[in-house]
Chain A
């Protein structure tokens, strides 16, 4: 777990704001999210469903559905603002310098094209290669993601593959052009537990071998703990806490992070600590609350929390919580330690 906060980040997202517009009105999915991804690191973005974590990453590559609109912000990659590039230039980056893996391998592959074709077309799009060269590269990629008898399986169709195998194909597609950044949007959520382990292990190995930066989006803290270097915790379309994985797990600064950690069964812990789920449900993002979005579910909520959105307090580890204001009352386990 190398911590390379120095140097230029691969991707630097600032104040990203994304909304969806429907007949019911505006749903503010992402409300000013900022984070950096550094070369060679695995950044985990964690949050409940609806926290805006997937929308954040889809916004970075501008892959939103027709009803979504990026209202503000920037995403600097290689000296270019991805949010300001024109579509043609952006498509030169997609699948080339930035690869992406999606949640559901069952639906993310085109059912009517052979898996080989789906890898090959990506290579041909971004590299000057003949079909034969692209095919050779595809076989190489299939071997890299450990698909057995790679050469034979190029001709297969997605429905002839299991979920785990399909996700390997997706990874092969994402890695086809040696990307500098790989965005993995809940890559293991739709898979069986044993397959999850294999895919995670594969991702970690590939990252170590190829040295690209990875953004791993997940709602599974176990996954985060295992593979990431740094974490961004999202809630209600905002970054609630961010920091290196060790520190954040040891001393969560935000009550929400604390709640999340408390709701995870700790396999290494034999004391049979009881699971404490966070009571309540996430806010309705069509009508986000004025203050901290976690106020309604927070055990330490104060009047200030409902009145005003807190800024992010802290440095290498930071949290968006009023409890870290110098004048805030002391709460054991939260601001007493982190102060």
Chain B
């Protein structure tokens, strides 16, 4: 039994990599993931990845931020200590708009980014799970789980056919763990 854990098809051109994905899919080879130095538009549809739901999170955080600050300002300025400023109403809604807007934006920004980091497991100090060091530089890498996907030579040929400049048979999933 081969000790290969992952097969990596390294492309130097994003279009060729897309061809590689098509070819693998035509041959029913499941793709583990794709690592690229830049976002590839249209790849989600091809790999059947659902749309991101971060927009909903952003909306909810925005609503939360606006509600929190408006309630607080209402409590401060109307309920707890209403001030008589020339007999004008204490509940001066137009005056509350700037801070309400700012906190809506603040909560949206921090909430969305925190959700993104949480969902993607990004945080300071997380060990990078790198399969190929050049995937953040100039290589577009298709990763295929070697287990159960045989014969490996066929997969290699498919990747080469699509234009892969290098096909790696890695014994470890993450090369970054070696250091």
Specify whether A and B are partners. Answer: no
